[in-house]
Homo-oligomer: A and B are copies of this chain.
Amino acid sequence: MDYTEKLRAFPMLENIPREDLAALSTLLREERFPAGKDILSEGAQGNEMYLLTEGSVDVIKATVFGDSFVVTTLDDRSHSVFGEMALIDPDRRSSTVRAKTDCRTLVISRESFDRFCEEHPRCGVRMLRMISIHLVRNIRRENENLKQVYQALIEEIEAG
C-alpha cells in the first residue's frame, strides 16, 4: 500500500519531500482497532510509533491508587501520533492508549525508523527534530502540571 498521501497531512512529517514520504510509506503497516480496544498498554514494553489516520483515542494514565484518568483525547482531524518515545528509547509505555471509536493507524517500528534515518539522513534530521519538539512540549506541559499539583499539595498541608 502507498500511504504517501495520508502521510502528507501529518504535521510531524511536514518539510519531508514527497519522494522520501514514499520511501517512509514502504516501512509502515496499517493496523485497525475496534472501539474499546487498548492500542498501547501503560507499563508494557513497546517499540512502535502510531499515526492515527481514522477515529479517536483516549490517552489514559493509572494513578498510584489503582484508578485511572483520561489525560487527553486525540482524533484524526489533528493528525496525531502516539507512542513516539518508543522510537527513541525503548522502555515501558508511559500511558495506555484506548480506541474510543473504531480506529485505523499506520505503525512504524524503531528498527524501520532507524533504517529510514540511516538511508535518508536529511529527512531523519527533520523527523527527529519534529519528534523532539513534541517531546520538549510534553516536558514543558508536565512541568506546569507538576507545579500545579505541588501548589495544591502545599495549600492542602497549610489548610490541614
User: Chain B residues near A133 (CB, 8 Å)?
Assistant: 88-89
Instruction: Kindly report how many copies of this chain are found in the complex they form together.
Output: 2
Q: Indicate if the CB atoms of A139 and B142 lie closer than 8 Å.
A: yes
User: Chain B residues near A149 (CB, 8 Å)?
Assistant: 146, 149-150, 153
User: Chain B residues near A154 (CB, 8 Å)?
Assistant: 63, 65
Per-residue CB proximity of A65-97 to B under 8 Å, as 1/0?
Answer: 100000000000000000001001101001000
25 contacts between A and B (CB under 8 A): A63-B147, A63-B151, A65-B151, A85-B139, A88-B135, A89-B132, A89-B137, A94-B140, A94-B143, A121-B125, A124-B124, A124-B125, A125-B128, A128-B128, A128-B129, A128-B132, A135-B135, A138-B139, A142-B142, A142-B146, A145-B146, A149-B149, A149-B150, A153-B153, A153-B156
